């Protein structure tokens, strides 16, 4: 009987040992196994930055990392192969981290960031993602060639601005008003045309330019612009008939004319395309009887600069469009007689006055050299001639300058 009870006690001890061994094996399997043997790497996703794109200022990268078993161990970022910087992993299994990089700490140019997620297993399974991007924290640089910084009274100031990179915005301010720029067959060359009045004060003026590059870097630069004196011819005493004297003295008539011309010139300001090509041509054949800007006196007592170029010839002499454009006025005016205005775009207009006949209609597209009318003596004149005018953004300038110089591009 004693032997029996001893062998039973023995059996019970064996069972307990076996149970412990099984418990240890299972425990190892459940708790330590994944840590030692698990081989699935974490998942890792980056968003917020488009690969290859250019950035400035702060760059925000959203990092999303997960590891179900045994959980996330570490997350690091490495900029351009420098030593890895650890990011704080808050959650055990799933991390959403917003990482901000101040690109001002990097040089302009191409960079890359390597993000590494490592799990807690002994094997240290890792997943890596690389981001490539370009940094540009430098605003555009502007240049204005010296020949573009000077103009005479009654002439055209053509400001050419060169940039070292394409810009999304380029605006200017001179003479206390805003000026607009248009690109000239290039993403780095821009032009603004400004008419300088015959009595514009001669001195140096500051031109302030503001430019923004394609990703938002902005600059402001100031350049000196010099307006120089033009010596205009003086003299000429114009005797008008009593009827024409009456028209000249009737301010309502000239106001009416100027309102209509103003509307026509404004259409050229709205036309952002450059319609003209190369140099302008003289609008007609004949004798130059009064150059642009000549200071004249009338028998009405009025003294003023002549704001056009007079070319005299017989009535019926053909009048041609000085350049390509769109007809913005074609009607009889009081002072200017039968008149045509052509818009060449970007604020540039030419006018043809005192015609005996108008051969175009408002809205017509005309080519350089097209016959648009015939010379005459309508309106306030002393004989048949063409009063050929040019207006740049509302200011009368010498049309002759445009026959000598090609304003399309920079002079070589």
C-beta of 127 vs 338, nearer to Zn ion: 338
Give the separation between CA 160 and CA 119, rounded to whole angstroms: 60
Token pair, residue 317, equals 């002499």
Least Å distance, CB 306 to Zn ion, is 6
Neighbours of 246 (CB within 10 A): 12
Cβ burial, residue 47 (10 Å; 0-12/13-18/19+):
exposed
257 binds Zn ion (CB under 5 A): no
Helices 251-270 and 242-249 meet at what angle, rounded to 10?
A: 60
Least Å distance, CB 389 to Zn ion, is 8
Closest CA to 71 of 123, 126, 127, 120: 120
Tell me if residue 9 falls in helix, strand or coil: helix
Helices marked H in 304-354 — which ranges?
none
308 binds Zn ion (CB under 5 A): yes
Residue span binding Zn ion (CB under 5 A) among the ranges 72-80, 110-118, 139-147, 380-388: 380-388
- Out of 38, 67, 119, 310, point to the residue binding Zn ion (CB under 5 A): 310
CB 334 within 8 Å of CB 256: yes
Token pair, residue 21, equals 């061994």
C-beta of 71 vs 308, nearer to Zn ion: 308
Instruction: Indicate the residue whose CB is closest to Zn ion.
Output: 387
Least Å distance, CB 308 to Zn ion, is 4
Least Å distance, CB 162 to Zn ion, is 38
Least Å distance, CB 270 to Zn ion, is 27
C-beta of 113 vs 398, nearer to Zn ion: 398
C-beta of 191 vs 306, nearer to Zn ion: 306
Token pair, residue 254, equals 């000239």
Counting residues that bind Zn ion (by CB under 5 A) gives 3
Least Å distance, CB 355 to Zn ion, is 13
- Out of 181, 387, 398, 402, point to the residue binding Zn ion (CB under 5 A): 387
**Residues lying near Zn ion in the complex (CB under 5 A):** 308, 310, 387
């Amino acid at each position: 009987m004693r032997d029996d009870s001893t062998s039973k006690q023995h059996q019970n001890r064996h069972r307990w040992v076996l149970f412990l061994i099984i418990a240890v094996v299972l425990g190892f399997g459940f708790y330590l196994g994944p840590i030692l043997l698990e081989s699935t790497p974490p998942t890792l996703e980056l968003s917020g930055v488009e690969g290859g794109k250019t950035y400035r200022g702060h760059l925000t990268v959203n990092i999303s990392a997960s590891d179900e078993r045994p959980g996330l161990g570490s997350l690091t970022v490495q900029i351009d192969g420098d030593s890895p910087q650890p990011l704080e992993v808050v959650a055990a299994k799933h991390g959403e981290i917003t990482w901000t990089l101040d690109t001002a700490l990097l040089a302009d140019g191409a960079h890359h960031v390597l993000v590494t997620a490592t799990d807690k297993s002994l094997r240290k399974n890792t997943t890596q993602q690389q981001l490539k991007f370009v940094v540009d924290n430098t605003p555009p640089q502007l240049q204005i060639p010296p020949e573009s910084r000077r103009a005479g009274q009654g002439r055209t100031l053509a400001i050419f601005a060169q940039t070292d990179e394409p810009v999304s915005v380029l605006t200017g301010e001179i003479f206390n008003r805003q000026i607009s720029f248009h690109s000239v067959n290039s993403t780095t060359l821009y032009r603004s045309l400004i008419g300088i009045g015959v009595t514009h004060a001669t001195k140096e003026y500051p031109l302030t330019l503001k430019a923004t590059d394609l990703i938002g870097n902005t600059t402001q630069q100031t350049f000196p612009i010099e307006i120089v004196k033009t010596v205009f011819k003086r003299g000429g005493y114009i005797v008008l008939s009593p009827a024409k004297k009456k028209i000249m003295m009737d301010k309502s008539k000239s106001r009416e004319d100027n309102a209509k011309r103003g509307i026509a010139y404004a259409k050229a300001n709205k036309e952002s395309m450059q319609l003209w090509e190369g140099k302008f041509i003289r609008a007609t054949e004949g004798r130059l009887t009064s150059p642009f800007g000549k200071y004249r006196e009338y028998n009405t007592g009025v003294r003023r600069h002549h704001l056009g170029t007079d070319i005299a010839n017989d009535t019926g002499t053909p009048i041609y469009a000085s350049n390509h454009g769109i007809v913005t006025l074609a009607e009889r005016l009081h002072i200017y007689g039968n008149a045509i205005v052509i818009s060449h775009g970007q604020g540039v207009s030419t006018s043809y006055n005192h015609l005996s006949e108008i051969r175009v209609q408002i809205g017509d597209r005309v080519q350089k050299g097209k016959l648009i009318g015939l010379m005459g003596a309508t309106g306030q004149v002393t004989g048949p001639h063409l009063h050929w005018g040019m207006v740049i953004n509302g200011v009368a300038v010498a049309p002759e300058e445009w026959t000598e110089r090609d304003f399309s591009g920079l002079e070589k």
